[in-house]
Chain A
Amino acid sequence: MINFSDLSFIFRFLPAFLLAYYIVPIGMRAYITVIGSLIFYAVGDIKSLWVFLASIVVNYLFSLKCQERKKAFLFVIVLFDTGLLVFYKLIAQRIGLLLPVPLGISFFTFKMISFQADLYTGKIKKRPRFMETLLYFSLFPQVISGPIMRFEDTEKNRIITGVEDRFLLFRDRFSKNFDKVEEGLSIFVMGFAMKVILADYLAMMWNEIGTIGYESISTPLAWAGVVCYSLELYFDFWGYSLMASGIAVAMGYPFIINFNHPYSAKGVGDFYRRWHVTLGTWFRDYIYIPMGGSKKGSLRTIFNLCVVWFLTGLWHGVTLNFLLWSGCLLVLIVLEKYLWVHIPKVRDFVGKVHVLFFIPITWVIFAIPNYNDLLNYLGRLFPFAGGGNYINPFDFDKIVGNYVFFLLTGMMLLWPKIFDYIFKNRRNWFVRLFLLILFWICAVFVSGKAGNPFLYFSF
């Protein structure tokens, strides 16, 4: 149920929640959201609910002192939040504790750190009440995988506080609320379609490639796999982010951009200003800039970049391939920043090559945690050293033939204009009619896969 593309979420939790949200007295909206969010978290991971709630309480207590600019308190609470993340993700398994990693811990600890830092620096001016803090951390659309919304954005929600519709007549209020829901759902459907029609099928293709075994795929298929996985990851996460943001919009929150056409970027640095934007800006605002950013000379800048990318790699996962992945990106970024920048003609070309050629390859490194598997895959991508066994040269035709529609549609959507057109015209009646049809098609797709485990897992 905690998966946004799950039928139980779409046809049970979400309508029930939105209905309750708009039906209860205006002052109760925040409470109903907290209740709904805690139910959502409990359904997802009841065992870790206490960790989640305890860390919220601790953070609330410290927040009072952080706002008074007590540096020691800020230091301790940031250490606490980081420690929580590091303990569950890095240490617990290593020392043989079979503790499940709490749901969404990578995201809620980051929210907490940004919250404390913003209080300390005075970016958050008012004193947050406990209810607001609880609401911000537990908000169900964002609790599992972001986007990492800043606290200041919560204050822009004029529905939940009632500022916007408190004094309106029922008719006008109804119309206003209906607008919000319609707006949110239209964004949700865009994400839903990306996830269900593109990402899920591309994931099946990626799985088929794995089933053959990386040592036995033909080189053309290996390259198709690079495209496949890059698109799968992109539409999975972008689709998820749109769904999450769409739900938040339906509740009155501002739309949070998490993906801004990364594949149209001018270089790797630009790519990561457009990819998972809320994470990138988090690292920028709370690591890179506090360390001096790029204002303290080249060597210091490179060092800062190293720290940021090391932490980024670690945040995504503890296996070596994530460090290798972030290391590759670091090299490309440093090259862009200090070498290619001096030759403008080369810079643009190299930037495009980085984005369209090297970044997809880095995703393969990102995708394959096992060192030998990764070597096998890279060996098939660049078969100069020979290698590979039991290769069926027709595997490309077969697999790509089955998924060509999804690959082509995915590649077409890399072109920003298509999505931008739909997004900009989302208030157009016909666009919304299109989205309605798309929604029901997707719902049928999902039911065909999820409703019948033997269809989805058919061997």
Chain B
Amino acid sequence: MKIWFKHILTTGMILAGIALSVDSYFGMNSAYENYEYDMMTSPIISLSLRNLADGKIPYLVSAAMGKNVSDDSELAMAEEETGTAQDTQEATETTQTGENRDVQDTEAVQNPEDSQNEAGLTEEIANPEGENQADPAANGEAGENAENPAAENPSENPEQTENSETTPQEAVAAEESQEIKYVYTMTSVEDDYFDDALFIGDSRTVGLSEYCPELMERSEFYAKVSMTIYGTDDIKFVEVPVIPEGFEPEVAESAKEQASEESPEASDTGENTQETATEENAQAEPTPTPDPYADLPKEKVTIEEALTRKQFGKIYMMLGINELGSGTPETFRDKYGEVIGRIRELQPDAIIYIQGIMHVTSKKSNSDKVFKNETINQRNDALRELADWEHIFYIDMNEATDDENGALSQDLSFDDVHLKAKSYSLWYDYLKNHAFIKVPKDEVDTGIKAES
């Protein structure tokens, strides 16, 4: 016995090695079943070690403690001591999600009206329904709306009639409409197009946020290394101001005052209101992050939560490289579609751009089991199906960065996956030349839809 104790290093390696291997063996089909494991390439102990690397306690320990071991929830695996803290955390989370649901519900209720309104939206705005459907999201600066309980909105609705007129962008291209006013068309735009743009993505979009000077100063980025489409409601990393109860930013307040002043007129004379409303909208849009929020403390929230706090004009998404090794094009598309659906609910006025996943270089594609351009193309084809070419558009920036083999050009990348700093301008130029704007249908004689 003494000799084993004397050789503590070897003994400790052997004993812990055996213990963790046993733990892996028993946990293999339960707690660790989500870990991809290939007996040929790695020892069984790797399961338990990976579990530790993820910051969870070993399966046998948690089983012995009588805790219910669930596969996904990190919280359930947390140690007993943090139990109370954990409970409160869970509680707050549920209330948060509860609030979210409220917001979503009200919007969901509003949506049918929206679409009705959209369908019927013409120059005669004296649509009676318009009064009810003031969408909190429609106000470009409605940062405080997220804080205001959704219940407050209905009471304000009658006063905010003009808000219904700030949404004519929505109305375009509705097919049943007899008098279509606008269609979306692809064109080249100037830098200021991106003033109210949001970019959602993984490390590649992080790169864009760091090496595209034009976008750095204009747009917002909810991008994070190793982000996936499955992380939009899960990973908290977007910094947003914590708005204290009763905090009313000046900009928004003045806008509200204006609104209440003008609203009586709105209900009376329809045609004038539309003009004022669009004017106001035009004024409101170009002010991006309002200063009043700058001094507030920040909190980190998920992308979806952040989208309830601020409205954007355009949302560009590029996700998919990190989930290339899991699921199928169909499961990926379905999840992506789900997320897009939720974004549409939260951001009804935004044009959503689905960007095809950027390719990797031939070198990478030919040598890697997972990161293959064929797989990327399959997924991109699936993503293209999500576009409705009314609010959701598909663009593929690979056109700007591919070589003749349909792979990312070798000279644009160092690590075969990311663009070098100097290469991001190609991406930006592509976005500038593939932007959708709405134009009056009269101007587009042929009435081509964006698809062509």
Binary contact readout B207-238 vs A (1 if CB under 8 angstroms, 0 otherwise): 10011010000000000011000000000000
Most chain-A Cβ atoms within 10 A of its Cβ — which of B36, B46, B225?
A: B46
Q: Contacts of A432 on B, CB cut-off 8 Å?
A: 7-9
Tell me whether A452 is interfacial, beta carbon within 8 Å: yes
CB of A453 within 8 A of CB of B422, answer no
Tell me whether B335 is interfacial, beta carbon within 8 Å: no
Minimal Cβ-Cβ distance residue in B for A10: B43
Given contacts A390-B424, A453-B325, A459-B204, contact A182 B417 (CB under 8 A): no
Please give the number of chain A residues whose Cβ is less than 8 angstroms from any Cβ of chain B in the complex: 50
CB of B225 within 8 A of CB of A444, answer no
CA distance A429 to B8 in the complex (A): 7
Given contacts A213-B420, A447-B50, A459-B226, contact A189 B43 (CB under 8 A): no
Binary contact readout B402-445 vs A (1 if CB under 8 angstroms, 0 otherwise): 00000000000011011011111100000000000000000000
CA distance A454 to B202 in the complex (A): 13
Tell me whether B54 is interfacial, beta carbon within 8 Å: yes
A312 CB to nearest chain B CB (Å): 28
Minimal Cβ-Cβ distance residue in A for B416: A211
Tell me whether B106 is interfacial, beta carbon within 8 Å: no
Tell me whether A74 is interfacial, beta carbon within 8 Å: no
Q: Contacts of B50 on A, CB cut-off 8 Å?
A: 447-448, 451-452
Binary contact readout A383-426 vs B (1 if CB under 8 angstroms, 0 otherwise): 00000011110110010000000000000000000000000000
Binary contact readout B128-156 vs A (1 if CB under 8 angstroms, 0 otherwise): 00000000000000000000000000000
Q: Contacts of B10 on A, CB cut-off 8 Å?
A: 178, 181-182, 185
Given contacts A451-B42, A459-B202, contact A210 B414 (CB under 8 A): yes
CB of A7 within 8 A of CB of B43, answer yes
Tell me whether A349 is interfacial, beta carbon within 8 Å: no
Tell me whether B52 is interfacial, beta carbon within 8 Å: yes
The size class of the interface chain B forms with chain A is 35 or more
CB of B49 within 8 A of CB of A436, answer no
Binary contact readout B303-337 vs A (1 if CB under 8 angstroms, 0 otherwise): 00000000000000000011001100000000000
Most chain-B Cβ atoms within 10 A of its Cβ — which of A175, A212, A215, A451?
A: A451
CA distance A211 to B361 in the complex (A): 13
Tell me whether B13 is interfacial, beta carbon within 8 Å: yes
Given contacts A189-B9, A459-B202, contact A216 B211 (CB under 8 A): yes
CB of A453 within 8 A of CB of B49, answer no
CB of A444 within 8 A of CB of B52, answer yes
CB of A175 within 8 A of CB of B3, answer yes
CB of B9 within 8 A of CB of A459, answer no
Q: Contacts of B450 on A, CB cut-off 8 Å?
A: none
CB of B325 within 8 A of CB of A454, answer yes
Binary contact readout B45-65 vs A (1 if CB under 8 angstroms, 0 otherwise): 111011011100000000000
Tell me whether A93 is interfacial, beta carbon within 8 Å: no
Chain B: interface secondary structure? helix
CA distance A179 to B35 in the complex (A): 37
Minimal Cβ-Cβ distance residue in B for A207: B415
Given contacts A390-B211, A453-B370, contact A436 B12 (CB under 8 A): yes
Binary contact readout B1-28 vs A (1 if CB under 8 angstroms, 0 otherwise): 0010011111011101100010000000
Tell me whether A433 is interfacial, beta carbon within 8 Å: yes
CB of B16 within 8 A of CB of A440, answer yes
Pick the residue among A181, A392, A443 that contacts B210 (CB under 8 A). Answer: A392
Most chain-B Cβ atoms within 10 A of its Cβ — which of A185, A439, A455, A459?
A: A459
Q: Contacts of A216 on B, CB cut-off 8 Å?
A: 211, 420-422
Q: Contacts of A175 on B, CB cut-off 8 Å?
A: 3
Q: Contacts of B47 on A, CB cut-off 8 Å?
A: 451
Tell me whether A375 is interfacial, beta carbon within 8 Å: no
CB of A439 within 8 A of CB of B420, answer no
A215 CB to nearest chain B CB (Å): 6
Pick the residue among A185, A392, A451 that contacts B35 (CB under 8 A). Answer: A451
Binary contact readout A157-195 vs B (1 if CB under 8 angstroms, 0 otherwise): 000000000000000001100110110011001000000
Pick the residue among A15, A213, A446 that contacts B414 (CB under 8 A). Answer: A213
Tell me whether A12 is interfacial, beta carbon within 8 Å: yes
Given contacts A8-B42, A185-B10, contact A451 B49 (CB under 8 A): yes
Q: Contacts of A12 on B, CB cut-off 8 Å?
A: 43
Q: Contacts of A212 on B, CB cut-off 8 Å?
A: 211, 414, 420-421
CB of A429 within 8 A of CB of B49, answer no
Given contacts A447-B50, A453-B370, contact A458 B41 (CB under 8 A): no
CB of B53 within 8 A of CB of A451, answer yes
Tell me whether B110 is interfacial, beta carbon within 8 Å: no
Pick the residue among A11, A213, A450, A454 that contacts B421 (CB under 8 A). Answer: A213
Q: Contacts of A444 on B, CB cut-off 8 Å?
A: 49, 52-53
Given contacts A207-B415, A213-B414, contact A186 B9 (CB under 8 A): yes
Tell me whether B203 is interfacial, beta carbon within 8 Å: yes
CA distance A14 to B85 in the complex (A): 43
Minimal Cβ-Cβ distance residue in A for B48: A447
Q: Contacts of A181 on B, CB cut-off 8 Å?
A: 7, 10
CB of A210 within 8 A of CB of B415, answer yes
Most chain-B Cβ atoms within 10 A of its Cβ — which of A215, A444, A446?
A: A444
CA distance A221 to B414 in the complex (A): 17
Q: Contacts of A15 on B, CB cut-off 8 Å?
A: 14, 17
CB of A211 within 8 A of CB of B3, answer no
Interface residues of A in 211-227 (CB under 8 A from B): 211-213, 215-216
CB of B46 within 8 A of CB of A215, answer no
Tell me whether A134 is interfacial, beta carbon within 8 Å: no
Pick the residue among B52, B325, B414 that contacts A211 (CB under 8 A). Answer: B414
Pick the residue among A185, A390, A445 that contacts B13 (CB under 8 A). Answer: A185
Q: Contacts of B225 on A, CB cut-off 8 Å?
A: 458-459
Tell me whether A435 is interfacial, beta carbon within 8 Å: yes
CB of B211 within 8 A of CB of A392, answer yes
CB of A436 within 8 A of CB of B9, answer yes
Pick the residue among B53, B423, B425 that contacts A448 (CB under 8 A). Answer: B53
CA distance A35 to B411 in the complex (A): 46
CB of A439 within 8 A of CB of B13, answer yes
Interface residues of A in 1-42 (CB under 8 A from B): 7-8, 11-12, 15
Minimal Cβ-Cβ distance residue in B for A1: B41
Most chain-A Cβ atoms within 10 A of its Cβ — which of B6, B9, B370, B420?
A: B9
CA distance A140 to B417 in the complex (A): 35
B366 CB to nearest chain A CB (Å): 15
CB of A459 within 8 A of CB of B322, answer yes
User: Which 8 residue pairs spanning A and B have beta carbons closest together?
Assistant: A448-B53, A213-B420, A216-B421, A458-B226, A447-B49, A11-B43, A436-B12, A390-B421
21 contacts across the A-B interface (CB closer than 8 A): A8-B41, A8-B43, A178-B10, A179-B7, A181-B10, A185-B10, A186-B9, A211-B418, A211-B420, A215-B421, A216-B420, A398-B210, A436-B9, A440-B12, A444-B52, A446-B49, A447-B50, A451-B35, A451-B50, A459-B204, A459-B418
Given A213-B414, A213-B423, A389-B421, output 7 extra A-B contacts at Cβ < 8 Å. A7-B45, A7-B49, A185-B10, A439-B12, A451-B35, A451-B49, A459-B418
**Chain A: residues with CB nearer than 8 A to chain B?**
7-8, 11-12, 15, 174-175, 178-179, 181-182, 185-186, 189, 207, 210-213, 215-216, 389-392, 394-395, 398, 429, 432-433, 435-436, 439-440, 443-448, 450-455, 457-459
